């Protein structure tokens, strides 16, 4: 079957837009094909800095004929309804419709719409211009007089369609003054001449000869492998950076890997600053030596094969990096000369939020809160307040002004150099953590106190001004802050009740449910454990774990069945009698052995479970509940709850209520499925 080849050749597409653009091109074309009845076998999109390409295989040469019945209004309907039906069905008059009789609905009109198939080339010629003009770019531009809006000037369009071994047909259309054809171009510098192509296989081969690697993932593999080999030959290793690798693969069509070096004297600057400088300014990879220390060398990814072996390219990069590292060293030296404590007052000039004040005001709130949290997490309150006071000071430093991603890290370096305690310096570096699901959480008490204070102040502040996340909108990363609080508490096994307003507590509940479900917990068990007043993350987590363990056993499954039977009986009786059952108000003094045994075990279990829950021993509480299984089974086997004797029935309902209340000490079993 025929295949479609489409290439949109342009000036350089920004690297950050490339992968998404390739996927959008694939989706736009294939969706349009399917809508026209052209069902294909496979489709794959490709992208380089100068081209978007798509191959779609197994496309029928012609769309199928279709026949569709459109149901219309009833016979005798108003003329307006009939006119609308005629227009929708494409009929000239109502005489072209047939009348169908339905025993229930009466007579109504039906139009048979037959649509003949069309040549795939005609369909493609009609739909491809819309794909190009309707393409969605994060940023785009207009140029010339064609009126086309595109990410960068579009230079050529290739569009061919044909079966293997046949001369393909050019899909003829025009967009922005550019006519489609079958001509593309190779590498801008290494093979800039025009190339005539037929279909995808010879297109791929021709580009390879013209120094263009079409597949971005293959370019990434080339860069990764060549960089690792070059580093290994020098006894070094490349510092992995997937984001940078994706970016540089989008900057080159023919990747050539080289190595440069810089003055080892710059290694006196913190390595994070060196890496950021080299990464941000030159898109180069940094290296480590065999001992894991930063090496004074870097990996360059060029887009051409140089006649001098790359000496000029390397020298140019070294010259720029030397200047950038000199700037970084100046920032670092200058920042060190100003104590962090002296930088704090400058935060009054940095607005945090119009309604929440300056960064200095926020620091003062965090400082107070960290001092209050410290005793609850085993931290020194003095150190916690000091760390909180200095935590944001590096925001006004030269280095963080140049590289915002280094905030916190640079504060740690400055704090250590200025004689602050290591616990304070580490807390400064870690108080933003965790910044993502794979990021580590603070584990030292002072860092925990400051990190919790930072996130809780953020959440309570925005809740106070009614700036809450809505739908997918969360400009202040409040969901991330809540998840950070949950992870810090749970991963450090902290008994730390969240004393916040109900609405914010419910927000924490939603985030905790997501966390527990992602960790494999059953949603019904999470719902059974969390109540509107649940404010202890660790307690909730332990209850879910303990409940899960119980219900994975035969005792737990049978006990749940007994609970549900008891709850259903109670619900029916309480609805009928308009009364509640509970307490120990038994009146029948001669219960049978099964009833007596259940009374005894329930009373004992209620006392034990209450004590273990109070001691946060949820596994012990669950273990105590499991002892109810046999007496509950025996009770329902031998005892008639709804006895004709009113006293016996009331006693037995009271006993079931006591059983229900005992189990509810741990969770609301009515929410558990099964």
The whole-number pLDDT of residue 576 equals 75
Assigned CATH class of 553-671: mainly alpha
Spatial contact of 282 and 320, defined as CB atoms under 8 Å apart = yes
List all residues 6 or more positions away from 340 whose beta carbon is below 8 Å from its beta carbon: 390, 393, 394, 411, 414, 415, 418, 420
Spatial contact of 539 and 498, defined as CB atoms under 8 Å apart = no
**What radius of gyration, in Å, describes the C-alpha atoms of the chain?**
36
Determine the angle formed by the axes of helices 478-491 and 502-518, rounding to 10 degrees.
Answer: 70
How many Cα atoms sit within 13 Å of 646 on the Cβ side? 1
Place of tokens 């740690």: 412
Spatial contact of 353 and 415, defined as CB atoms under 8 Å apart = no
The whole-number pLDDT of residue 164 equals 80
CA distance 527 to 544: 9
Contacts of residues 473-480 at CB distance under 8 Å and 24 or more positions apart, as own/partner, are 478/507, 479/511, 480/435, 480/436
Place of tokens 């279709």: 66
CA distance 222 to 220: 5
The whole-number pLDDT of residue 555 equals 87
Q: Write out pLDDT tens, residues 384-408.
A: 999 999 999 999 999 999 999 999 9
Letter string b/e over residues 450-488, b meaning 16 or more CB atoms within 10 A of that residue's CB: bbbbbbbbbbebbbeeeeebeeeeeebebebbbbbbbbb
Coil vs helix vs strand at 3:
strand
Weakly modelled stretches of the chain, pLDDT under 70: 146, 578-589
The whole-number pLDDT of residue 580 equals 60
Give the predicted TM-score (pTM) of the model.
Answer: 0.81
Write the DSSP symbol of residue 109: E
CA distance 326 to 596: 86
The whole-number pLDDT of residue 29 equals 97
The whole-number pLDDT of residue 105 equals 78
CA distance 381 to 393: 19
Tokens of residue 392, six digits: 């944001």
Spatial contact of 623 and 547, defined as CB atoms under 8 Å apart = no
Place of tokens 């109670």: 570
For residues 461, 464, 465, 470, the Cα torsion angle rounded to the nearest 10 degrees is 90
The whole-number pLDDT of residue 204 equals 96
CA distance 390 to 411: 8
Spatial contact of 57 and 91, defined as CB atoms under 8 Å apart = no
| For the chain, domain boundaries | 3-62+119-209, 66-115, 216-336, 553-671
């Amino acid at each position: 079957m025929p295949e479609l080849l489409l290439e949109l050749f342009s000036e350089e597409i920004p690297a950050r837009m490339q992968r998404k653009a390739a996927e959008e091109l694939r989706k736009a074309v294939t969706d349009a094909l399917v809508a026209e009845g052209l069902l294909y076998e496979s489709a794959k999109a490709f992208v380089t800095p100068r081209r978007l390409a798509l191959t779609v295989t197994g496309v029928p040469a012609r769309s199928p004929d279709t026949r569709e019945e459109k149901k219309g209004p009833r016979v005798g309907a108003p003329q307006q309804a009939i006119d609308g039906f005629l227009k929708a069905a494409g009929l000239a008059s109502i005489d072209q419709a047939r009348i169908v009789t339905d025993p229930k609905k009466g007579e109504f009109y039906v139009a048979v719409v037959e649509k003949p198939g069309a040549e795939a080339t005609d369909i493609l010629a009609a739909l491809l211009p819309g794909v190009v003009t309707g393409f969605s770019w994060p940023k785009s531009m207009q140029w010339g007089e064609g009126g086309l809006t595109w990410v960068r000037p579009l230079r050529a369009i290739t569009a061919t369609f044909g079966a293997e071994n046949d001369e393909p047909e050019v899909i003829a259309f025009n967009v922005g003054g550019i006519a489609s054809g079958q001509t593309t171009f190779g590498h801008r510098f290494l093979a800039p001449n025009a190339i005539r192509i037929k279909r995808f296989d010879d297109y791929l081969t021709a580009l390879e000869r013209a120094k263009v690697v079409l597949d971005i993932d293959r370019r990434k593999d080339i860069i990764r492998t060549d960089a690792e080999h070059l580093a290994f030959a020098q006894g070094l290793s490349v510092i992995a950076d997937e984001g940078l690798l994706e970016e540089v693969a989008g900057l080159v069509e023919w990747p050539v890997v080289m190595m440069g070096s810089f003055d080892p004297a710059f290694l006196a600057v913190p390595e994070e600053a060196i890496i950021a400088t080299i990464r941000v300014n030159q898109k180069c990879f940094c290296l480590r030596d065999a001992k894991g220390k930063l090496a004074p060398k870097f990996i360059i990814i060029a887009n051409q094969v140089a006649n001098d072996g790359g000496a000029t390219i390397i020298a140019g990069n070294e010259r720029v990096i030397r200047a950038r590292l000199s700037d970084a060293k100046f920032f670092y030296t200058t920042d060190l000369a100003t104590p962090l404590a002296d930088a704090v007052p400058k935060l009054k000039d940095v607005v945090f939020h119009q309604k929440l004040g300056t960064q200095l005001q926020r620091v003062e709130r965090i400082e107070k809160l960290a001092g209050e949290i410290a005793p609850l997490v085993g931290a020194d309150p003095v150190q916690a307040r000091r760390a909180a006071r200095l935590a944001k000071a590096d925001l006004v430093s030269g280095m963080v002004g140049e590289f915002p991603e280094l905030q916190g890290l640079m504060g740690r370096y400055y704090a250590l150099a200025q004689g602050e305690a290591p616990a304070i310096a580490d807390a400064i570096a870690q108080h933003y953590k965790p910044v993502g699901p794979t990021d580590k959480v603070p584990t030292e008490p002072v860092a925990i106190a400051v990190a919790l204070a930072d996130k809780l102040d953020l959440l309570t502040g925005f809740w106070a001004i009614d700036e809450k996340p809505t739908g997918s909108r969360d400009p202040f990363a409040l969901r991330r802050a809540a998840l950070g609080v949950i992870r810090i508490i749970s991963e450090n096994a902290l008994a730390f009740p969240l004393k916040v307003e109900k609405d914010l507590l419910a927000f924490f509940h939603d985030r905790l449910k997501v966390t527990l479900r992602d960790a494999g917990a059953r949603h019904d068990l999470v719902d059974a454990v969390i109540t509107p007043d649940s404010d202890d993350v660790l307690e909730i987590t332990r209850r879910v774990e303990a409940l899960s363990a119980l219900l994975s056993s035969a005792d737990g499954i049978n006990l749940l069945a007994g609970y549900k039977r008891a709850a259903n009986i109670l619900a029916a009786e309480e609805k009928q009698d308009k009364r509640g059952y509970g307490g120990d108000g038994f009146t029948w003094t001669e219960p049978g052995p099964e009833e007596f045994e259940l009374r005894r075990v329930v009373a004992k279990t209620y006392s034990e479970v209450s004590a273990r829950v109070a001691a946060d021993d949820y596994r012990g509480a669950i273990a105590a509940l499991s002892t109810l299984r046999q007496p509950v089974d025996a009770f329902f086997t031998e005892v008639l709850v709804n006895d004709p004797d009113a006293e016996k029935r009331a006693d037995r309902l009271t006993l079931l209520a006591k059983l229900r209340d005992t189990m509810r000490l741990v969770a609301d079993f009515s929410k558990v499925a099964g």
